[in-house]
Amino acid sequence: MARNTGDRTCVRNVNVSDANIGNTQAHNEREKKTYVNPDIVPERAELNVHFKAPTDDYVGMFSKMEEEKVISTRGLKPDATKFCELVFDVNSAYFYNHGGYDYARQFYEEAYRAAVEIVGGEQYILSAVMHADERNRAMSEQLGEDVYHYHLHVVYVPVVKKEILWSKRCKDPTLRGTVKEVITQVSRSKKWASKPAVDDIGEPILQKNGKPVLKKSYSVLQDDFYRHMVAAGYTDIERGEVGSNEEHLTVTQFKVEQEQQRLARIQDAAAYASEETQRRNEEMEEARKKAQQAKAQLDAVVPKVEAVEELARRYSDDVDKVLPEAGALETARSYREKKAKPLYKKIVDVLRALYNKYLDLINSFNRLNDSYNRLQQRYASLDASFDRLAEENKSLKQVAADYDALCRGYGADRVEEQVRAIREREAEQKRQRRMQRQRHSIGAR
């Protein structure tokens, strides 16, 4: 980021993940009810200018573009970046010195035309809005009047033209290797690949080994925007500094950036802890319910087991108490056939049924008891996890308070810009390391 030593243009390309596209839309389209940035003035939201207004939410527009074959997601990985955002900016003093709102609107209307060229066509732009409702606190306090910071957000789908060739399996040999079709492929990496650098006469600049010197896409973006605006008549602006990095930041900005890296990680951890706490609470409540159900089933089984034991005890009593005395004229055979045998058969049938029922109840009792014990153990484990997460949340609250104070001190948008720049550089560094590993692997073969 350039120091504020002149009227410098700045355009940043920000990768927007699927998880963050909703928040980007809410910010750009002013859909939020409240804002962390205290310098946003809701009463001025009607002054924001759409050079292209969205026809649906950003995700819905992407889906419609895919359905209508304006874009193609062929070969796109599930975690690939599908959305990008261009943020065009010039320091607030530039517009203040040229008359303010009307001049900013004219300037960013031309910047939007540059965005259409950079993106590759207006059909790939989801939304383009100039914000005119963010107050520049420092300038306002210095000048004793409200000064607003005008800037342009352009959300788009990064695409490249890709030729699909006929394969070697094509039945017509004359078609093999020729162009079968040209698709507009969604690809952030190809859209913003580094380009060969050229000298003043347009010749490629080569390294000592003969390979071309690559110019980073961010630098190419700055060049394209600056040249477009100068050609349109805005000759009193300067290009953003070449090769901008941490060394070009003021001491205060650099400290803010470093702190934001730490706070961003802590915020992510806090969000995860909050979600994890909620999930654990739900699991604990479910465990409580299951434990109560198991206990109720145990309470219902115990009396049945006791009743079975009582029946078994009664039918296991002394035989003299169970069998009636023989009659005076009753023969042994008659007594056995008419009294003893039916009674024994009845007792055997009852005992067999009771024994089977007793076994079923004992097995059921043991299963329920084991289940109850497992649920109790799980509840205890969840309870301990909840205590640990509650302790973590307690420590993160202070960090969140520090973050809010930082946003109030430096402005939320300024802080967010630092974070976005950091993440973009980290993503670029990660991509460079991956390419180096790939080149090393190919060289090792």
The domain spans of the chain are 9-159+194-244, 248-410
Closest to 226 measured CA to CA, from 86, 97, 111: 111
Closest to 151 measured CA to CA, from 111, 182, 119: 111
- Give the fold, CATH level 3, of 9-159+194-244: BirA Bifunctional Protein; domain 2 (3.30.930)
| 133-150 tens-digit pLDDT | 999 888 888 888 899 999
Interval 70-75 mean pLDDT: 90
Q: Which residue has the higher pLDDT, 1 or 214?
A: 214
CA 154 – CA 110 distance, rounded (Å):
13
Report DSSP state, residue 44. Answer: G
Report DSSP state, residue 17. Answer: -
Give the tokens for residue 202: 């347009």
CATH number for the domain whose boundaries are 248-410: 1.10.287.1490
Range scoring the smallest mean pLDDT among 116-130, 157-171, 187-201, 260-274: 260-274
Closest to 227 measured CA to CA, from 149, 117, 84, 93: 117
Greatest Cα-to-Cα distance within the chain, rounded to the nearest angstrom = 139
Q: Which residue has the higher pLDDT, 16 or 379?
A: 16
CA 276 – CA 382 distance, rounded (Å):
11
- Mean pLDDT in the chain? 77
Q: Which residue has the higher pLDDT, 415 or 335?
A: 415
- The reported pLDDT for the residue numbered 336 is 61
- The reported pLDDT for the residue numbered 329 is 54
Q: Which residue has the higher pLDDT, 316 or 233?
A: 233
- The reported pLDDT for the residue numbered 379 is 67
Give the tokens for residue 322: 């169970």
Q: Are 128 and 52 in contact (CB under 8 A)?
A: yes
Is 426 a residue whose pLDDT tops 50?
A: yes
List all residues 6 or more positions away from 348 whose beta carbon is below 8 Å from its beta carbon: none
Give the tokens for residue 14: 């920000």
Is 6 a residue whose pLDDT tops 60?
A: no
CA 263 – CA 419 distance, rounded (Å):
10
Is 254 a residue whose pLDDT tops 60?
A: no
Give the tokens for residue 271: 């969000």
CA 5 – CA 132 distance, rounded (Å):
23
Q: Which residue has the higher pLDDT, 173 or 51?
A: 51
pTM of the predicted model as reported, rounded to 2 decimal places: 0.53
For every residue of 109-177, DSSP letters joined together read HHHHHHHHHHHT-GGGEEEEEEE--BB-HHHHHHHTS--B--EEEEEE--EEEEEEEPPTT-SSTTTTT
Q: Which residue has the higher pLDDT, 378 or 155?
A: 155
Q: Which residue has the higher pLDDT, 215 or 435?
A: 435
- The reported pLDDT for the residue numbered 159 is 93
List all residues 6 or more positions away from 25 whose beta carbon is below 8 Å from its beta carbon: 31, 54, 57, 58, 127, 155
Q: Which residue has the higher pLDDT, 295 or 58?
A: 58
Q: 244 falls in which pLDDT band (50, 70, 90)? A: very low
Is 301 a residue whose pLDDT tops 60?
A: yes
- The reported pLDDT for the residue numbered 270 is 59
